[in-house]
Amino acid sequence: MSAAATRRVGTLVDRAWRGLLLGFMTLFVVNIGLMIAAVATSSFAKRWLGTWLPEGWTTTWYTAAWKEFQLDSVLWVTVQVVLAVVLLSLLIGVPAAYTLARREFPGKRPLMLLFLLPLMVPPITYGIPLATVLYQVHLAGTIYGVILANLIPAAPFVILVMTPFIEQIDPNLESAARVFGAGTGRVFWHVLVPLLGPGILAASLLVLVRTIAMFELTFLTAGSDSQTLVVALYYAVFAAGVRAPQSVDAMAMIYMVVTLIWLLIALRFVNPTQLVSRVKEHPQAAA
């Protein structure tokens, strides 16, 4: 009888535990959803002070925010930075990933560590010495400084995403091309790049989404005319006292829409866990 009682208590605890976890998950997702909904509501609100819903609706905050925060130039800077970072990180990262996937050489392990460290050390820790150096060579405050700074996490990220992709391609294909006289360059462009298409697409979308949202490095290196959207949003929230909250929320909505569109495109080609689990390679590399 006592055994049965223990079992009953056991299932009760089990059920309570399961309920607790489900409750937390639901609470988490619902509150995130409501948080986004609150920003959206506020951005369309005429006046909204302590009531469930605003007194009236308007879209003027969007035009106000667009003018106030000079969003046309901010968006243009963002496009330039993101495109440059994606292209340059592919240009640097894919050849490096090829070597790391195909060759064994002395010093490979320290090199892997060098490419992993920028993903393990948070941007604000290395961003401050980096900004100091960039200010000394007069690159900080310009769009070139912002691009260089954003490449530091982006290029290793491409390497980590691409290395397993290249490893799974049969080396015999390259050998065959070489037998027919193709040099390394031609093997690369005519054999590897077409086969790597899906991998390159996934890597560039991941880099793109991460660069749009990368706040710290851009914040530390950008000048007033080289801000990206997320940094402009930071300054808008920071100086919220002087502006209508709806105008800041309208700007937040613009940022959110830009980010989420690209996230949705990215999620068609990659698994959500790929946005965070690049570190999975680390235990193998270190072990």
Partner 1 sequence: MAAAGAPLAREPFDRTLLLVSPAALFMLLLFVYPFVYGLWLSFTPKEGGALANYTHFFTTDNLWPTIWTTLRLALPATLINVGLALPIAFKMRVKTPYQRWVTTILVVPITLGTVLIAEGMLTYFGPKGWLAQFLQFFHLYDGAIRLTHNYTGVLISLVISGFPFSFLLILSYITGIDPGLARAAATLGADPKAQFRHIYLPLLAPGLAMCFCLAFVQAFSVFPSAVLLGSPAGPTRVISIAAYEAAFEVYDYSLASAIAMIMGFVQFVIVVAVLGLRNLFYRGPMIGGKG
- Interface positions, 88-117, toward partner 1 (CB under 8 A): 91-93, 95-96, 98-100, 102-103, 105, 111, 114-115, 117
Scan residues 198-217 and list those touching partner 1 (CB under 8 A): 209, 213, 215-216
265 binds partner 1 (CB under 8 A): no
> Which of 52, 168, 181, 194 is the binder for partner 1 (CB under 8 A)?
52
Question: Are 100 and 230 contacting, i.e. CB atoms less than 8 angstroms apart?
Answer: no
Shortest Cβ 63–partner 1 spacing (Å): 19
121 binds partner 1 (CB under 8 A): yes
Residue 177 corresponds to which amino acid?
A
Shortest Cβ 222–partner 1 spacing (Å): 12
87 binds partner 1 (CB under 8 A): no
239 binds partner 1 (CB under 8 A): no
Shortest Cβ 52–partner 1 spacing (Å): 7
> Which of 9, 34, 87, 265 is the binder for partner 1 (CB under 8 A)?
34
Nearer to partner 1, 185 or 194 (CB): 185
Shortest Cβ 176–partner 1 spacing (Å): 9
